[in-house]
Structures are given as C-alpha cells and as structure tokens.
Structure 1
C-alpha cells in the first residue's frame, strides 16, 4: 500500500489516509463572521467524495478584538453554532472528517476591522502588519485564554471532530512564542517555556472543557526564519511541552515568515522542521508547504519527515486534485 493511502489511527482519531486539507482563509463568510451559502458550497466542493481524510476549517476569530480580516469566519459567540453545524454536516456527509482552527489576531489586527484596541504580548509592532499594540495585562491574558476555551466548546457543540489552536503566521499565540514580539519580563516572557505559558494554559483549559476524547491540534509557526526570531530548537522544547499538556496532533508551518519560504519552492519546504520535531515527540505531525505532487507526498512520508501531509494551494486551485491523487495510488 502507498504511504499516503495508509490509515492513521490514534486512541482519539481515525483517519482513512494521510492526506489533509490545511486551513486556508477564503473570505467567503458573511461580514459578521456567520457561515454563508458561499462557504458551505466551497467546503462541499472540496470534500466531495471524501478523498481528503481531514479538512481543517480556516482560522476563525474567537473574539471581535481578535478578528483578522473583513470576511473572516467567526467562532466568537453561541449564536454561530447552528450555522457551523451545517458546515460540519456537509463535510461529514461527503465522507471526510473535519476540525476547526480557532485564532486571535493580536497585533496582526487592525482597529479599522475590529473597532477595538489592538493588543499583543508587548508594545512591539508586528513585523507583518497591524497597528502598534497595547501590552496585555495578566488579567487580560487570562480573559483571552477563557475566550479560546469557550470557542473550543462551540467547535465541539457544532459537531466537529476536533479543534486546532492557531500559533503560526504571526498571529497572537505566535507573537507570544516569538522573541521578536514577546519582550515581557513576567511569567509570560523570557525563555521558551515562559513564552509558551499562555499556550499551555489554553491547552489545559480546553482539555478540561471538551473532555479527554476530543482531539486537540496545535498549529505551530516552528521558525520565523528571521534574525532574532524563533528557531526549530525553540520548537522542539515547545512541542514536548504541548504533548505533555494534552495536544494530540502538531501541525507545523512558518512563524513570521508565514506559510512560504522566499526563494524556496521545494516540495514540503518545512520538512526540515517537521523532521527535527518528530525526533522529540510521539504524537502525529502534519507537514504542509509547497506540496503539489503526489510522489513528493509519498516520499516525504516514506522518509519519516511527517505523519500527515497537508496539500493546500493545489487543492484550492483544483478541487479534483485529491480524487486524482488517491486514484493514481490505488
């Protein structure tokens, strides 16, 4: 059997193959963040036939102050659950499993979008975009931890198969992880273990609320690829702590470099990160980044660079990519 078609089974998750669709912002929701007919049609088309074992729904804001863009999907209040149920049901009906990614933009937000003050771990401008943030107090941090917890409860109520915490691409939790934007001198800043205290608080709060059987994924921007930024050595320390705290799957991407590596167009260009992180943890690791060829996915899995392969832009451009890939390997 091919590596890509091999099922993956853990005590909480059973996937028919190793092919997943990573979260990709579509700007197809309503302006208030509610599920639209456009977004239902989009995920219906992508999941048709169930060839993709797991579809991760695009980053969804946990609170108005954490909204990243105008037509971003929301998970910020209980009134959204019924619309999100329609989304999970469509994907399940097509034969795929699905989880939702929950996020706060932090200093990548803009007052013009949120109508609120921009916040972050420190009063340091985001290297990518956004207004100068106000440094959060410890009490405000605890409130955002609670917002992540409440969002995860909604994800479960909406019928999804798990939840993914977003800590990549220069967003809020990535800002705490990266030394570029976390200059705090209290318990939330300093060495790696202090910079991930908020992550661990969120993981534990979610686990307590959703129960032991609901999978928790975490997407980690495992390197900023910038001078003074986060490194793979930081991420190896963090990954071990995340596993201990209750994360079931680690989804690896870039930090402030976001989801691309300038000048690197290789298939699976984040594989040096996943390969290193896999050496220190036992939970499954997802690799995404530039993978457009079926044989490349096979090779990356066979070389133990990852346990699951995320194919994003190729599936975004061609909804039949997964069908053709699976059929070519059968």
Structure 2
C-alpha cells in the first residue's frame, strides 16, 4: 500500500495519506439542521485512529430553499456554527483532516421539506421530479445564491474545518446549471459550457473572497450525466481547466444526474474513465470514488495514474474498522 500511505498536499492541506471518506448523507441532524449527538458519534467512530486522511462531511444546505431532505445538515445560518465546532474538533482529535460539502438542491428540493417552491436554472422538470416545474432563477436570485455559498463557506471556516467542498454533482443546483438537460437559458448562464459554468466560477470567486486564500476549496464535479443530451466528459474537461484556473485546489469526481450512479457499474472504481480524463486536463489532485472495497484495488488505481486520492464510502459506512485494516494497522 505504498501510494495509499503516501502523504499529499492539497492546497494548504497536508494529508497523512490518500484515503478519503466521501460525503454520505446520514439524515442524523436535528430538525433544524444542527449537528446532533448522533452525528458527532458517527463521525467519531468513522475517524478513530486517524487512518482516513480526509473526511468530507455530508452535503449541507446553504439556504432553506436549497434543503434536499429532512434531517439534512445545515450551514445556512450562524446558529449552526457552535455544534459544528464540536464535530470538527472530534475528527481532528482522532487525527484526520475534515472539510464540509456545501450544497443547494435546486429543482430537486421539495416544497414539503422547504416550504417553498423549487427553483432551477430553467423552468424544466428534473428527471427525478418529472411532475414539478421549478421557477427559473432571475439574475438577482442567482446573485443571492452565490452570496449564500460564500456565507456558508465562511461558516465552515469559522467552525474549524480545514476546507470546503462546493457541490456540483448528482443533479443538484450547480450541476443543473452545467447540464444541458436542465439548463435551457438564453442569457449568459446558458448555451455553451463556458456560459453554463459561469455561476460556478462566480461561486468559487465569492467563496475564496469569503474564506481567504489560505483556506482550501474543493469542488465535487458530476463529470458525466450518463443521460442522453446531458453533460459529457468533453464538457467537464473544459470545466475542470477553468475551475483550476479559478483556484480550486482539488476536484472530487462523480457522475450521474439522478444521484450518484453509473449505468452497469460493476468494477471497483467505476468512475475511473472520468478521473483519468480529468487528470489529463489539470495538475491539481483528483479524487476517485465508486464501489471501491479492496485496498489492493485502491493502490492499483493510484499506481495506474487514474487518481491522486481514493474515496471509499459504503464499505466504511458498513464497517468502521475497514480503514484501519486497509492501512495495515
């Protein structure tokens, strides 16, 4: 496990190894989105021993209208910071680094959860909610969402985390802007891929101004929708280059427009064609996740140059001792 054990610098973060626990929604927060005792215990158990180099906290909503589901973590106002500090402290005490993923659900938000009608880049039903037509965001509303991402990132920093991850995957709002399936705009936010990532670049810029250059910014990129007419790896290769230029320190690659998925995915690390293609376009670290259950496979994916860090999700979710065994402790 020579490469898996090898330390790596990501932005200003010094990670002790290449193993990442990717964001996985627990639905364990309080009703108001605050960190619960169950969440602290959960991340304490997963990070014990510091065998995981980086823990990425599950997606957290930046505004009430961007909440994806009941009992989702919140990063939407300052009242959540105190409990989040307890979470970051537990993970640091165990010896791992920790960042938070921040998100807006866009048109897959539900009025039952948010109390508000869903919004999106265009008035186009999402494939996950085919009967719901979202309200098309105005430019003023887009600016408000950009500010909400920046404010959320500042809260992540104030809560003691080591970095922040902007979520643009799995059919949520930012990936809705990237995807031609959901973005039919005719203004500067629609059309070619550079227009479709305009909001991403504005979010990155606003986040970096809010947290300062010393705070590490990741971006999770849904690099292929795997749906007819959706985002392709060609689109995402262009986007990845622009995100690196904008100051993103690492790209966390995923796929699927209707959640975390790839059709007929059978092999471990099944998103590797995406990460390999992205790695050819950028010099910043690239994270690969997707069905990896054996440390030997993780090591081989690193050896083959298909990624720089390896995310292992479901098996760590089901077996909290996996990381210790995998790292040879």
* Aligned position for 1:304: 305
Distance 1:321 1:69 in 2: 29
* Aligned position for 2:328: 327
Q: CA deviation at 1:261?
A: 1.6
Distance 2:295 2:10 in 1: 24
SS class of match (1:292): coil
* Aligned position for 1:36: 36
Q: CA deviation at 1:31?
A: 1.1
* Aligned position for 2:139: 138
* Aligned position for 1:158: 159
Q: CA deviation at 1:262?
A: 2.8
Quick check: 1:18–1:309 contact (8 Å CA) kept in 2? Answer: yes
Q: CA deviation at 1:3?
A: 1.1
Q: CA deviation at 1:259?
A: 1.6
Deviations 1:168-217 (A, max 9, x none): 00100010000000000000000000000000000001111111110000
Distance 1:257 1:112 in 2: 20
Taking the TM superposition and a 5 Å limit, the aligned residue runs for 1:1-330 are: 2-129=2-129, 131-327=132-328
SS class of match (2:4): coil
Q: Figure out how many residues of one structure are paired with residues of the other and give that number.
A: 328
Deviations 1:118-159 (A, max 9, x none): 100000111123732000000000000000000000000000
Q: CA deviation at 1:9?
A: 1.8
Change (3 A) 1:303 1:145: same
Q: CA deviation at 1:17?
A: 0.4
SS class of match (1:4): helix
TM-score of the superposed pair, with normalisation by structure 2: 0.98
Q: Structure 1 regions of 5+ residues with no counterpart?
A: none
Deviations 1:226-264 (A, max 9, x none): 110000000000000000011000000013053222321
Quick check: 2:127–2:258 contact (8 Å CA) kept in 1? Answer: no
SS class of match (1:327): coil
Quick check: 1:16–1:53 contact (8 Å CA) kept in 2? Answer: yes
SS class of match (2:230): coil
Q: Structure 2 regions of 5+ residues with no counterpart?
A: none
Distance 1:320 1:132 in 2: 44
Distance 1:189 1:205 in 2: 20
Quick check: 1:174–1:255 contact (8 Å CA) kept in 2? Answer: no
Quick check: 2:11–2:216 contact (8 Å CA) kept in 1? Answer: no
SS class of match (2:327): helix
Quick check: 1:221–1:258 contact (8 Å CA) kept in 2? Answer: no
SS class of match (1:235): helix
